[in-house]
Structure 1
């Protein structure tokens, strides 16, 4: 459509009606030109070769009747408005024409100049508006499509990020729990649930302090919820009330507040890191440093003692050689040599133990390990009035072990037994006995050697029996113990793929049972 002149196509087979339409157009204020066709096919040819701004279409044509002509016109000129002309004053027909694609519907005989001009302008304007709407719709479809692609891509990225975060949350070695400000669990990760022997769903909705009552920790939680300040503590000891057999674990743990957009605390995140192994390594480092100091001292002592002992042995041997074999002097010289050899053996064992050699595991005879251990401890036991009963079968199988490390375990267990016997019996007593038994056994259809150290001493209270393997835990007073011995023994036996357990009744006995894989 140009700004000043309309190009109109009139498709009308009735010459009188066509002349009337043309006359009305000529009397209007519109600037126009009219192309006329008496059949639909001729009109379609004109539409294919010429642009028209509007079409007046007769309802009944020689080559097409009714509304069927509208789709064909729309196919040839989809952007050109159509005004349907008919002699039928039928509202249903008018509605159908509009639904089929016409922009207006005029009844012949009721058309005046103003109605015709108004209908023409309306139809053109409506068609233009439809075109703009269609253009806008297409643009909108493109924008929606592009935005949808962006949203799909963003959602995929968010889903990928969420999956990554979920994977990290579920599998990170840190124990994580998210809870509300009343300390009810909202979410926990797998590690947190596994640590308590449950699945994550078990915790949802449950209160933290209903599961783990602790007034000190509850006060900490309330302070963080009220102030929003983070709380952090290193190597905090923790015990599972439902799993006393696990003993004490040490954890670094922090409690952080989650805040909303207004800075108000809306939740809490508890994170726990198990540092028990680190504590054990630190203890091992202390032990190693302590043994290194003993080693230096032992080396000096051995040098200072071995020289005079060798002299004593040599002179005693001279006396032994010069004396009559039946004389008192010969007997005394023999005793001097025997006791001097024992002193030299003790010094050698002490030096070997203190060196803490990092030897590879090899086939080891536990009878020899026990013999070396008793060489250092037996005299002290007898001095304290304790009796020692050892029962080791000749066919006791060898184990793959580090001789020095297993000797360390035996020395620690014997030392603890001696302490318990002395506490119960300060002086000699018929029940002041340490029994050491070795035997063959099977665990899970595999051969093991079992060593049992059974003392009739003061025993261990039932309430602390599950904690005696924990680092730094000791029942000894003052400087008598550091609480490292049994925890280190436990670590050594585990390293040898063995097992160590304790049976005890307070005031009656303690039995340490050590199982090591046999060859």
Structure 2
């Protein structure tokens, strides 16, 4: 006979017992298992197998506590043990840490034929969601209770009367302030409690709030023992979460003080309006006066601007130059005339020291001028020299006036300057004309004297020539007598040539211009000066192009120009080289050039003498200006020469490097009439 284990017998009994119920158990979501007395699982429905992760039960001994509790032995408080020991059904709740869920547990015993407990039906129902919902509900209730308590505390604490009424206008709640204001009326209808009416009041604010779901406000007045009081009543609907109106809140606020303040404010407002009307009328009159003053001022400003433009035009376009200096002698204002005369824009002048526009001599004298300047005593008609932007200069007459402060210090200097270039030129021309007249007179006298001297010289010279020629004719060639006779003839002819040149030079300068060759005029001048040049130890180099044409000129006047230039070169060379020196030299060259398509003859005189100082270079052709000592030069030579060349339509230009050389260039047109 086969021997069967307890677990096998339990399974066999359960299988025989439950064939009709297995499908029912598998359709349930509860965890249903059947255990034997040794806590082995002998049956598990589909939900239990899936949730607990049970393996197949075929012949295996699987302990329930391993899969239900995740332990190696039963809990001390295990309900299965109690059910087995008592043979009674047991129920309870547990949080199963192993499964992270709350379960409702039911243990039901199964008995064998002898009435002994053989198995336990173990039912686990997951109630985690229920417990969570229950917990949330408790928390919600707690929060609601707390909020209700807070709301009541707030309602009791506010300084206004607050009541709550249902949609039938029955008073459900009154805070302390409301009770003080109206009495205790909870449970009564509001229209009966407040107004003693049997029906709803007309224009009831809560009725309107119940109807449209909005807040409505009204004001009421009421006679009391303390006098007339004013109340502001606010009716607000209370809605459920779906938006349905379920009650209304009435807030009553005593606004008596506010009404009194408003009445007082209204009285003051009325007084203020009256005062504003009065002031407005006054201001309107003042504004009219002000408007007229503004119009008058605008007209005055317009006339002032017109006048200012007029005087500005006069100032800027005046024939004289105007400028103002600050105490540091810096230009702070000038007119357009001064800017134009100096060759600058006004903004290039303003902000610069006035001495930036003076030559060296004027700068030196300016410091002395400034020391003499006072408010009472200006400087009148002082002559100074301005320097233009291009480096050229021009003379001016300046009148200077000072403005002083309270302490007597100069704060501003005003000056008027007038260009006197034309004035000085006219004066120079008058002086030059006077000098020229004097020169002509001297030349006339000299001519007469020279003619007499020449006549007296020519007679004996002709006798000497005749006697010498007779001696030469009677002497044999290559004899000593013949050589001496020829020497006498040559020297006598040289004397005759000099006398002829002297007579030619002293002829009247008023002779008509004639065709003459430059080389011939140079030869005439050198005939008078060559001996002195050799005596001074000066080398002379003359280089002319052979194809130079004749020019139309007054030969006596042009020869005087050349004589003056050569005389100045001799003086400069002797000053630099008192003795003979290899570089003590005068070079004279001539060439034909074109100036703007017109043919000119250019003659250049160059010497290696002392040169001209830079500060004097622009003045050497001024009348009576000389770099020579007073007893040596008159200052008229170059001025007269410049006038002669200008009258012939030509140019005189001087270039010099002080201490090195001087180069004088004379340019004469071939035909003055086409210039």
Could you tell me how far 1:148 is from its partner in structure 2? 9.7
Partner of 1:271: 416
* Secondary structure, counterpart of 1:420 in structure 2: helix
**Conserved? CA contact 1:312–1:340, under 8 Å:** no
2:454 aligned with 1:306, yes or no?
yes
**Conserved? CA contact 1:490–1:500, under 8 Å:** no
Q: Which protein is bigger by CA-based radius of gyration?
A: 2
2:666 aligned with 1:514, yes or no?
yes
Query: Cα deviations across residues 194-222 of structure 1 (Å, max 9, x unaligned)?
Result: 44331122122333246658354134235
Partner of 1:280: 428
Find the aligned partners of 2:585 and 2:628 in 1 and give their Cα distance.
20
Partner of 1:193: 339
Could you tell me how far 1:298 is from its partner in structure 2? 0.3
Partner of 1:460: 611
Q: Which has the higher contact order (CA 8 A, sep 6+)?
A: 1
Distance 1:163 1:193, change over 3 A: closer
Distance 1:504 1:492, change over 3 A: farther
Give the number of equivalent residue pairs: 388
Query: Cα deviations across residues 82-108 of structure 1 (Å, max 9, x unaligned)?
Result: xxxxxxxxxxxxxxxxxxxxxxxxxxx
Find the aligned partners of 2:628 and 2:575 in 1 and give their Cα distance.
10
Partner of 2:493: 338
* Secondary structure, counterpart of 1:414 in structure 2: helix
Could you tell me how far 1:502 is from its partner in structure 2? 1.7
Structure 1, unpaired ranges of 5+: 1-129
Query: Cα deviations across residues 292-348 of structure 1 (Å, max 9, x unaligned)?
Result: 352243034124313313422553465467666243596477347514422421331
Query: Cα deviations across residues 355-394 of structure 1 (Å, max 9, x unaligned)?
Result: 44386x6665322332232232222212323232211122
Find the aligned partners of 2:582 and 2:489 in 1 and give their Cα distance.
33
Partner of 1:502: 655
2:367 aligned with 1:208, yes or no?
no
Partner of 2:531: 379
Query: Cα deviations across residues 267-313 of structure 1 (Å, max 9, x unaligned)?
Result: 43323333442463255245324413522430341243133134225
Partner of 1:218: 367
Could you tell me how far 1:416 is from its partner in structure 2? 1.5
- Higher share in helix: 1
* Secondary structure, counterpart of 1:451 in structure 2: strand
* Secondary structure, counterpart of 1:178 in structure 2: strand
TM-score, normalized by length of structure 1?
A: 0.58
* Aligned with residue 413 of structure 1, among 534, 556, 565: 565
* Secondary structure, counterpart of 1:227 in structure 2: coil
**Conserved? CA contact 1:349–1:376, under 8 Å:** no
Find the aligned partners of 2:292 and 2:399 in 1 and give their Cα distance.
51
Query: Cα deviations across residues 18-42 of structure 1 (Å, max 9, x unaligned)?
Result: xxxxxxxxxxxxxxxxxxxxxxxxx
Could you tell me how far 1:234 is from its partner in structure 2? 4.9
* Aligned with residue 167 of structure 1, among 317, 326, 344: 317
2:615 aligned with 1:469, yes or no?
no
TM-score, normalized by length of structure 2?
A: 0.46
Distance 1:231 1:393, change over 3 A: same
* Secondary structure, counterpart of 2:547 in structure 1: coil
2:510 aligned with 1:357, yes or no?
yes
* Secondary structure, counterpart of 1:410 in structure 2: helix
Partner of 2:439: 291
Find the aligned partners of 1:266 and 1:387 in 2 and give their Cα distance.
62
